[in-house]
Structure 1
Amino acid sequence: MKELVVDPKARALIFDLDGTIADTMPVHFLAYKEILRDYGIEFTPELFATLAGIPAVQTIQKLNEMFGTEMDSVKTGHLKEQVYEQMMHKMKPVEPVVNLVKKYYGEMPMSVGTGGYKKLAWKSLKILELDKYFDILISSEDVTHPKPHPETFLKCAEKMGVLPQHCQVFEDGELGMQAARAAGMMATLVTDFYDVSIGKEI
């Protein structure tokens, strides 16, 4: 397996959180699966993969469009996050990415750009004992346009005081990769460096 490396041109690092720093995707998957069962939706790992990086409320909206359901997107999205929060302790670190965070801490500016909610994002970092490595975290509440729009990562760059073209983004989802490229940043897909299995037992 290839080694995860920082581009020599990078002056700052931006990390997605779910599936990038924290192996939370199996936990998110189980939370969605539990909530959606009541609506007759068979939530598969393949379906979940197409929705990676989309905030919960927008995910429910998309599922309504796909399945013709009439779920209250705000209420159901928040319910899913509540179920997820109860399972958060099951998450594991993504070791190659965490090793990179620790290696470059203090060497160059770093931030987190996530499609998740701020409270849960900080809680994830705390569970993994990584909260001390980051001062800057841009969440879905901080932007008008979520990924694949570049706003999340552009705000990270602005807060770090580094031009977008000098930032390297580490992502696990295609929407995040699109957002990084649209921001004019270097983009690294971390799933090339570790095994992913959303439907695995946790």
Structure 2
Amino acid sequence: MPLPEGIFDAYLFDCDGTIADSMPVHFVAWRQTLATWGADFTEEQFYAWGGRPIVDIVTDLNSQQGLTMPVAEVAALQERTFHEMLPQVKAVPGVLAHIEDAYGRVPFAVVSGSTRASVTASLTALGLLDRFDVMVCAGDYTLGKPEPECFLLAASKLGVAPDRCLVFEDTDYGMRAAAAAGMAAVRVPSPLNRS
């Protein structure tokens, strides 16, 4: 996974689908969770909405499908279901190689639309939690990806100018957020597009 030209003083990583090859597992957890309420969530829509906070997804599914799913309850169940499946999750090889190569030379942050509990569980399962100086998760910012707020907050916490940060992302929303923050980015291929 080649990096863009430039000198970067910090690496900002999305978690699900970027560090953790967890998107297929998250999709299964979503499908199992939403079946309880009769909600439909296609794989295409799931990947298109990648990077969005769980509560936003449930709210929008309610609106689109005329449902009244209890947002907090659905979000909690989706997280519990995903956590039960964590042993199936592995690291994305190309991203893991960059983490191993740059660890100790470049400060890292995780910038995720998932909750802190979910990100912590994923990184712990992968044995990578201690690699990250900063975590910015759902609840730490107001406007989620594609807005740049989460990436700008991570850069601020690391004390690095936005234009000196390199973002690793797997979603359109995340790539748009990185661009809006004035940051260079590496697009991590989806599981279907990795060689």
Same topology, TM > 0.5: yes
> Aligned residue for 2:180?
182
| Residues 122-201 of structure 1: pairs in structure 2 closer than 5 A | 122-191=120-189, 196-197=191-192
Q: Is the 8 A contact 1:57 1:78 kept in 2?
A: no
In 1: Cα distance, 2:105 partner to 2:36 partner: 49
In 2: Cα distance, 1:40 partner to 1:66 partner: 13
Runs of 4+ residues deviating >3 angstroms: none
In 1: Cα distance, 2:101 partner to 2:120 partner: 20
Q: Unaligned stretches of 5+ in structure 1?
A: none
TM score, norm. by length of structure 2: 0.93
Aligned residues: 193
Could you tell me which amino acid in structure 1 is paired with residue 29 of structure 2? A
> Aligned residue for 1:54?
52
In 1: Cα distance, 2:157 partner to 2:144 partner: 17
> Aligned residue for 2:11?
13
In 2: Cα distance, 1:88 partner to 1:151 partner: 28
Q: Is the 8 A contact 1:17 1:113 kept in 2?
A: yes
Summarize the Cα distance change of 1:158–1:21 in structure 2 as closer, same or farther, 3 Å threshold.
same
CA RMSD of aligned residues (A): 1.5
Cα deviation 1:17-57 (Å, max 9, x = unaligned): 00000011011101110011123333321121121111111
Could you tell me which amino acid in structure 2 is paired with residue 101 of structure 1? I
Equivalent position SS for 1:69: coil
Q: Is the 8 A contact 1:4 1:97 kept in 2?
A: no
**Identity across the alignment (%):** 38
Q: Is the 8 A contact 2:29 2:78 kept in 1?
A: yes
- Choose the corresponding residue for 1:117, options 115, 121, 125: 115
> Aligned residue for 2:78?
80
Q: Unaligned stretches of 5+ in structure 2?
A: none
